[in-house]
Amino acid sequence: MALALAMADVLGRTVLHRDRYARVWGLGDRKSPATITPALVLMEDDPPLPLTYAGFTTSSTSSLPSTLNVTARAAYMPPEFGQAGPHYSVNLGHVLPPSLEDANAGEEQGTSPLLPVSWQRMNHDDGLTDAALLPEIVVLTDALQLASQPGKLPQAILTLKHRFPGALLWTPGLGGPDNVAVLASMGVDLFDLARCREAEANGVLLTSWGPRLPLVHEETTLEAQAYHFMKALDEVRSSVENGTLRELAEKQSLSSPRLVEHLRRHQALMSERHGNLASHRPSKTVFPCYSSNALIDPLIEDWERFMTQDYQAPVKVREVMVFLPCSARKPYRLSKSHSQFFRAMASTGCHEVMMTSPLGLVPRDLEDVWPAANYDVPVTGDWSLDELARVQRMLTSMVERFGYKRIINHTNMDLGFLDIEVVNTREGQGATHFDALGRLSAAVKAAVADYELRNQKNNHRLKEQFMSIARKTTGTDAWLGDLTVKGKLPRWRLELDGTQMAVWSIDRNGFSFSRAAVDWLHEHNALRVVELKEDVVWRGDVFSQMVQRFDPSIRLGDDLRVVQSGEIIGLARAVAHGWEWGGTPGTLAKSHQRKKKA
């Protein structure tokens, strides 16, 4: 353990890009990294690949106990970055296979900045929980065996990512160009050419989409295999940078049933942990939902969980729900079809809720937030049983919790499963058909008369909408209670007695808080909290070594309250997920607002 402490942070590294559990690390000087990940670890007799793709070399001794050596191919050690290094060496030990996980036997594995971990060690070595253990590279030594046992590989990788967020993760012998996107999406950073050597020996070419026989003009040499691996690394790096790794991993997984299994089990584990998703994304970001797999994506399941457990409909519109179809354009209100719905309804006294896939339901008051404002789905008019089941679950929950007295159904879905009065307005016609719009208009007029519904003034309606968004993104709407909405599209201001506290940012689909709001938000216990160490002088961004305590449920994009010694000192915006805050080098949150010193 002393070695781990003495050599901590000798590997200069910083996260350049992140997409859920995948990260592109820059190795060396953060201003000009020599290598970026995901990258290769070269074994003896491997071709000398370019440094940008292969940042380390490795060797091991054949004598017992076996020793694993990993050496940097460039100068990665701060602060001078003057000579090649670091060099790691550790005892690999001898462990039993994962199938014998209950047996605590074998030769103990070593502990150093290069940390070998097996399934057996994860189950029996209490030393792995020591907070002083700060490895720089973690080696999942039995990754190949774990991959053949249902559920163990995703569980092991996720556990190691949460326990050692600042370390690079290597799964020896497992990676190849045909699974690098899937493994990178699960959190693997380092790979090797072991499977490429196997492909060479068998006379096949290992590509991004699986092994295949070579064409006449193609070679199967290790150099040719390595070329395909490097191109696959480029695709993954680009996907992480652009936030599209999910789609690439999904496509690549279809080359193998085992990869589909790994990816689905990984997604199931993600869904159990809510701090690994983004709360805000830029308005131009597209969340593609082009296949049925989107229905089980952790972000979609998280939306359903929020809607069925935490969402609160605006109180003033809980008498009558108008159930509407979605539109291709987001937010829906900007579409031609919803403009026609508005004219037909001619009332703001009902709660408008949209039926859509894969999200299920999107209330009008949340149509501007991530991912409701960003998803893209092919429109066929056909609904699967799974899609309809999600809508049914969510709609049943809303009716039970909010006590609507009537639903005006302008979709083609049969709502007979609800114990509530339903007025159907489509009658088999299109949503924008003249007669269907007429029935919608008549149904809303009848509801307005029956329940004495009143139109809301625009600034009051906007405030209710912002309060609904605040409940989702800031944890409470209490800070909005005394505020008024001022301004005009697209820059709505939220003011307290003439002082601007926040503006609605259409660029990030979220609130942008002013310095004046710092104490106000703290008073109303809004936003998640990060506590800095007492001896830290906060001048710039937030780094892990500055943090005393943090909320593990932090999401990328969250606005955060920064406190020190029990006092609020400013706001920051998270650029890293909550699981990374336990030791990831580099910036975790960007300073947003800081209080002036007294």
Beta bridge partners of 563: 531, 568
**DSSP code, position 516:** T
| Stretches in the chain below the pLDDT threshold 50 | 1-9
CATH 2.30.130.10 fits 527-598, yes or no: yes
> Would you list the DSSP string of 292-319?
GGGGG-HHHHHHHHHHHHT----GGG-S
| Number of C-beta neighbours around residue 161 at 10 A | 21
Distances (CA, A) of 222 to 301, 361, 433, 536: 42, 51, 63, 51
Whole-angstrom distance, CA of residue 274 vs CA of residue 246? 17
Instruction: Compute CA 306 distance to the chain's CA centroid, rounded to the nearest angstrom.
Output: 16
The pLDDT score that the predictor gives to residue 579 is 94
Bridge partners of residue 532, in order along the sequence: 547, 564
Tell whether omega for the bond before 79 is within 30 degrees of 0, i.e. cis. Answer: yes
| Residue-level pLDDT at 35 | 96
Q: What confidence score (pLDDT) does residue 598 get? A: 57
φ, ψ dihedrals at 507, nearest 5°? -70, -35
Q: Which residues does 508 contact at the CB level (< 8 Å), separation at least 6?
A: 280, 281, 282, 283, 557
Give the separation between CA 513 and CA 530, rounded to whole angstroms.
17
> What is the per-residue pLDDT for 105?
58
Contact 189, 23 (CB under 8 A): yes
pLDDT value of position 124: 85
Which pLDDT score, from 0 to 100, does residue 416 have?
Answer: 94
**∠ Cα 455 460 462 (to 5°):** 105
Please compute, for residue 60, the number of CA atoms within 13 A of its CA located in the half-sphere on the CB side.
17
The predicted structure's pLDDT at residue 3: 41
The topology under which CATH files domain 457-515 is: Nuclear Transport Factor 2; Chain: A, (3.10.450)
Looking at the DSSP assignment, which residues form a beta bridge with residue 361? Answer: 355
Give yes or no for a contact between 377 and 290, defined as CB atoms under 8 angstroms apart: yes
Helix (H, G, I), strand (E, B) or coil at 368: coil
Number of other residues whose CB lies within 10 A of the CB of residue 259? 21
What is the C-alpha separation between 518 and 71, in angstroms, rounded? 47
Torsion angle defined by CA atoms of residues 377, 247, 276 and 465, in that order, rounded to the nearest 10 degrees? -20
> What pLDDT score does 204 carry?
96
Question: In the prediction, which pLDDT does 110 show?
Answer: 84
CATH class of 287-450: alpha beta
Superfamily name and number for 2-272: Queuine tRNA-ribosyltransferase-like (3.20.20.105)
Rounded to an integer, what is the distance from CA 46 to the centroid of its chain? 35
Domain boundaries, the chain: 2-272, 287-450, 457-515, 527-598
Beta bridge partners of 142: none
pLDDT at 5: 39
pLDDT, tens digit (0-9, with 9 covering 90-100), for 241-276: 999 999 999 999 998 999 999 999 999 999 887 657
